Structure formats: structure tokens, C-alpha cells
Amino acid sequence: MDGYGSLYDLREVAVPTYQHPNVAGEENDYFDTLYEWTYRKHDILRKYVETFAKIKKNLYCVDAFAGRGQHRDGAHGSPLITASIAQRLRDEGKPYWLRCLNVEKDSQYYADLCEATAAFATDLVHNFRGDFAGHMTRLLAICDKQPALFFLDPFGVDGIEWKRLQPILTRTATTELLINFNVRYIPRLAGHVTSNAAAAHAKVRLLSEVLGTTTWIPQVISPGVSVENSLADERVTTALSTDATLGDRLTDIYKQQLCLHFPYVYHYPIRAAADGHVRYYLIFATRSEKGVSVMNDILCATEEQYQEDVERLHPSAPPPAAAQLSLFAAESAVSAASMTPAEAPVQCQNSALSRDEILLARQGHLKTAIQAAVQQAFQNHPHTPLTYLQLRCQLARQWFAQVKRSTYSQPLQELYRGGVLTWDTAGKRLPKDDELVYWAPPK
């Protein structure tokens, strides 16, 4: 399994001996052990790179914070994962290619990276020593007009300041972003908005530079407290220290910024199966409807695996609310058809339903959401119906990483049999991605 060993072994070894990765001053080296949540992150990257390279025919994967290439326990890091895919595509004679561009700033990690990737051809894997932003011009020149996925997986937030990412954000060729957004560390930076210390001001400035805006400041302080007086107001300190939603609100601000350049921006929580705590968010940004569909199904499978891990580690405990797949109220799903990605944050409600019960309830709500989306499209543009891919992409604004493609089968068939909607091959099979889905109102 690409240097991982079995997932069973990972859960047995990595979870009980958990240590915090070296993020924002925490002890221990991130590369000592591959933890089960890191495995899920890498598995997401592996599946998406392999699939999207096939769809786009060619693909550059830019690993902006590549690290040492592999963990000290022998598990492959992201550079070796993507390099192995690139080599396999060549060995199998595929008519498309993947090329890997890895950047690492730390001199020892860079030396380890070069050693780990030495067996791969230099036209498949190219390593760069130094700061990611310092190599930006060269990286973009190499990618030229080819599709590129930028994997931004830093320690903390240093290196992903908004201005540094501008050349990527404004790139006109096919561009995808997969970002490790440290939702545990980001709120700590925001908490310094209440301090007059010079070091605190630097942290607040760093957060503004990462988010690409200062609009977050008035959004995180208490109502009735002016921005000018916030640094000396104890009410702000109290509000920030007890605000469990701060990380999510800052994430939404960051996603809104990304939406200025990408029409589809989503986040998925990477959690530890042992305690359910979120380690970070993976933020996915794309201009491709197909990319949304592919990543959605990958993350649905990831979520299912996560829940299996939780159940295996806690066989006698009921599934915790944090580990449950979200189950939306029908009205929320219906309203999602008119939401922008930034307006549809991930929601979750407590439940102790079985997986079968969740699936049945979800199919019922999805049926209502499909009907509403197709009907709205017909009312707004009677002569321009949605394709099946556009329909799923639109509903992903609310259901991203929670409803996979196969879940659409039952609701679509029921809506067809009920005379509510149709498509050219209705009655024979489900629609293809480019097939139009028509509203068929009762006569």
C-alpha cells in the first residue's frame, strides 16, 4: 500500500502512541511516525492526483512543503506517494503523465527528500531547495499551461500568506488547490487581537496576511465593542477564549477569499479516530465541476473509513456525534440549491442513527433537494436545463463529502417514476455527466 503497510497496523501502532506533531511550537518531529489522520490526508491526495491526472491527461503536482519524503517509520510521505504514481503511469504505458515538483526549505529535510526520491527519473520528480515563494516563478514556468495541483501542507501557517499565493490564484491554466488549514492554530493567532504587546501585533498581522484581509478583526470581537478599543477590552478576551466557533468562522472568511478566484471551495475535517478531535481542515479549491465530483466521492469514502476506525477503536461505545455523517433537515437541503459555496458551511447534528437509517433519511432529503434544484433551474432558465454533473455540483454546496454519486440513484429513479423529472435515457439507466436533466411539472 505505497509504503504504508496495512491500515490495520497503522491504527494499532499510531493511534495509541499518539504525540502531537511539531506544529506551532509543539514538541516531537512530525516525521517520527505516520499517524492515522495523516494517512487519510495522504490517501485523499493519492486518489485525487491519480484520478485527476487521468481526467486532464497530464498533471503537475506541486508539493510546496514536501518535507523529507518519508517518515522515519518507513511510511511514504506525499512526495513518494505522488512519485510512485508518476512512475507507475509511465511503467504501464499510460497515454498521460504525472510530474512532481517538490519544494523543501529545511536543509536536512531537503537532503533526506533527495535521497528518498533518488530512484525516480528527474523528468518525473524534480526537487527544489528553499522557500516555496522564492521558486514560484520557476515552478509556474515549468507548469506553463498544463493542469496543476498545488498541495500546500505547511507546519503552522508560515509560507501560505495570501500575497505569496497570488501567482497561483490568478493562474489562468487549470489550477487546483489542496490546503492544510490549521484550524487549531489559527484561532490562537486571532486571540492576540486583545493584546498590546508587539509580539501579539505580529501574530495578528500574520493572520491577516494568511487570510488576505483584515475584515476578520471586527467579526471576531464582541458585539458592542469597537475595533479601536478592542485591544484593551477584557470582554473581547473572554469572548475569544470561550468561542468554540472561532476556528470555523475564520475558515469561512478564508474560503470566501478563495471564492474570489475559484467558484468551488470546500473544507473537510481531518480528525483523529481515537478522540474525534479535528487536527486540521483540508481546503479544496477548484474551477472544475468534474473536480468537485471526484473529490466529493473520494471524501465520502474517507469519511466512511474514518467511522470504521472510530468503531474499531471504541467497539462498545455509541458512535459519537462528531463521528456521525451529517444529516441535514430537508429545508436546509432544499435551500442549498441557491447557496454559494462560502454560504454553505459544514453542518452536523447529534444523532444515534444506524448507517442504514442515515442512508434512508439522507436519500429522502436528497430527493427533495434534487427536485428543488431542477425546478429552480427550469424557472430561472427554462431553455437551459442542468446537466447531471451540474446538478450534483450544485447540491455539493451543502452535501459535499456526505453524499456520494451512487446515493443519487434511488432518489432520481423515484422522481422519474413520479413524473417530476426526466432525462434522455430515463427508464434505461442513470444519466451521464453531460446528460441534461429536465423538469417535468405535472400537467
- Torsions phi, psi of 286, nearest 5? -150, 160
Residue 342 has pLDDT above 70, yes or no: no
For residue 161, being part of any structural domain is answered with yes
Q: What is the pLDDT of residues 43-77, one digit of tens each?
A: 999 999 999 999 999 999 999 999 999 888 788 99
Phi-psi group of 57: left, alpha or beta (phi > 0 → left; psi -120 to 50 → alpha; rest → beta)? left
Report the distance separating Cα 18 and Cα 13, nearest Å.
9
Element (H, E) at 343: none
**95 and 192 in one domain?**
yes
- Torsions phi, psi of 336, nearest 5? -65, -25
**Which of 309, 340, 367 is the C-terminal boundary of a domain?**
309
Task: For 140-179, give the secondary structure using H, E and C.
Answer: HHHHCCCCEEEEECCCCCCCCCHHHHHHHHCCCCCEEEEE
**275 and 374 in one domain?**
no
For residue 1, being part of any structural domain is answered with no
For residue 105, being part of any structural domain is answered with yes
Phi-psi group of 427: left, alpha or beta (phi > 0 → left; psi -120 to 50 → alpha; rest → beta)? left
Give the number of domains in the chain: 2
Q: Which three cell numbers stand for residue 279?
A: 487536527
**141 and 11 in one domain?**
yes
* Range list of H helices, 259-352: 289-313, 330-335
User: Is residue 251 classed as helix, strand or coil in its secondary structure?
Assistant: helix
Residue 201, burial from CB neighbour count under 10 angstroms (0-12, 13-18, 19+): middle
User: Comparing 290-294, 380-384, 421-425, which segment has the lowest mean pLDDT?
Assistant: 380-384
Task: For 260-281, give the secondary structure using H, E and C.
Answer: CCCCEEEEEEEECCCCCCEEEE
Q: What is the pLDDT of residues 243-302, one digit of tens each?
A: 678 899 999 999 999 999 999 999 999 999 988 999 999 999 999 999 999 999 999 999
Residue 239 has pLDDT above 90, yes or no: no
For residue 68, being part of any structural domain is answered with yes
Least Cα distance to 330 among 365, 359, 372, 374 occurs for: 365
pLDDT at residue 300, as a whole number: 95
Whether residue 271 contacts residue 278, with contact meaning beta carbons closer than 8 Å, is answered with yes
**332 and 274 in one domain?**
no
**Which of 283, 309, 335 is the C-terminal boundary of a domain?**
309
- In the structure, what pLDDT confidence band is assigned to residue 355 with cuts at 50, 70 and 90? low
Q: What is the pLDDT of residues 119-146, one digit of tens each?
A: 999 999 999 999 999 999 999 999 999 9
For residue 271, being part of any structural domain is answered with yes
**21 and 167 in one domain?**
yes
**333 and 291 in one domain?**
no
For residue 427, being part of any structural domain is answered with yes
Q: What is the pLDDT of residues 178-219, one digit of tens each?
A: 999 999 999 889 888 877 888 888 999 999 999 999 999 887
**165 and 72 in one domain?**
yes
**Which of 265, 286, 309 is the C-terminal boundary of a domain?**
309
- In the structure, what pLDDT confidence band is assigned to residue 97 with cuts at 50, 70 and 90? very high
**249 and 111 in one domain?**
yes
User: What CATH number corresponds to the domain at position 269?
Assistant: 3.40.50.150
Taking the CA of residue 21 as centre, how many other CA atoms within 13 Å lie in the half-sphere pointing to its CB? 22
Whether residue 169 contacts residue 287, with contact meaning beta carbons closer than 8 Å, is answered with no
**121 and 76 in one domain?**
yes
Cα 192-194-196 angle, rounded to 5 deg: 90
Residue 102 has pLDDT above 90, yes or no: yes
Is this model's pTM higher than 0.85 or not?
Answer: no
The distance of Cα 185 from the centroid of its chain, to the nearest Å, equals 17
**257 and 333 in one domain?**
no
For residue 147, being part of any structural domain is answered with yes
Q: Which domain holds residue 326?
A: 319-439
**pLDDT, greater one: 313 or 318:** 313
Question: Residue written as cell 524534480?
Answer: 126
**347 and 211 in one domain?**
no
Residue 367, burial from CB neighbour count under 10 angstroms (0-12, 13-18, 19+): buried
pLDDT at residue 177, as a whole number: 98
Query: What average pLDDT does the chain have?
Result: 82
**139 and 98 in one domain?**
yes
Whether residue 337 contacts residue 39, with contact meaning beta carbons closer than 8 Å, is answered with no
For residue 2, being part of any structural domain is answered with no
